[in-house]
Amino acid sequence: MSIPADALILTSAAMREAEAACAVQGTPLSELMELAGAAVADTAWRMAAGGPVLILCGPGNNGGDGYVAARLLAERGAAVRVAALAEPTTDLAKAARAEWRGPVEAIDAALAPAPLIVDALFGVGLSRPLAEDLALLLQRLAGRRVLAVDVPSGVESDGNAEWLPPLAADVTLALGALKPAHVLLPTAPTCGRVLLAPIGIIARGKMRTLPLTKVATPSANAHKFSRGMVLVFAGPMPGAAGLASAAALRAGAGYVVLEGSERAPLAAIITESDTRFGERLSDPRVGAVVIGPGFPAGDELLFDVEAALDSGKPLVLDAAAIAAALPRLCETPCRAILTPHEGEFTRAFPELYGSKIDRAKAAAVRTGAVVVYKGADTIIAAPDGRVVAAWPGSPWLATAGTGDVLAGACGAMLARGGDAFDAAVAAVGWHIARAARIGRGLVADDLVRE
- Kindly report, residue by residue over 265-283, the tens digit of the pLDDT: 888 888 987 777 788 899 9
| Paired sense of beta strands 171-175 and 104-106, if any | unpaired
Within 13 A of 367's CA, how many CA atoms are on the CB side?
A: 31
Q: Which residues pair with 107 in a beta bridge?
A: none
Is the bond leading into 186 cis (omega within 30 degrees of zero)? yes
Cα–Cα distance for residue pair 35/41, rounded to 1 Å: 10
Give this prediction's pTM.
0.94
Q: Is the dihedral of CA 113, 118, 119, 120 positive or negative?
A: negative
More confident residue, 420 or 217: 420
User: What are the distances in angstroms from CA 302 to CA 165, 238, 281, 369?
Assistant: 45, 17, 16, 18
Cα–Cα distance for residue pair 355/224, rounded to 1 Å: 41
Cα–Cα distance for residue pair 283/279, rounded to 1 Å: 7
pLDDT digits (tens, 9 = 90+) for 372-408: 999 999 999 999 999 999 999 999 999 999 999 999 9
Cα–Cα distance for residue pair 252/265, rounded to 1 Å: 16
- Cβ(344)–Cβ(322) below 8 Å: yes
Displacement of CA 384 from its chain's centroid (Å): 18
Q: How many C-beta neighbours within 10 Å does residue 5 have?
A: 12
429: CB partners within 8 A, 6+ apart:
210, 211, 212, 213, 390
What average pLDDT does this structure show over 256-266?
88
Amino acid at 307: A
- Cβ(55)–Cβ(81) below 8 Å: yes
* b/e sequence 179-197, b meaning 16+ C-beta within 10 Å: bbbbbbbebbebbbebebb
pLDDT digits (tens, 9 = 90+) for 43-97: 999 999 999 999 999 999 999 999 999 999 999 999 999 999 999 999 999 999 9
181: left (phi over 0), alpha (psi -120 to 50) or beta: alpha
Cα–Cα distance for residue pair 181/3, rounded to 1 Å: 12
Cα–Cα distance for residue pair 222/240, rounded to 1 Å: 29
Cα–Cα distance for residue pair 268/288, rounded to 1 Å: 18
Mean of the per-residue pLDDT values for the chain?
93
What average pLDDT does this structure show over 222-248?
91
What average pLDDT does this structure show over 241-263?
93
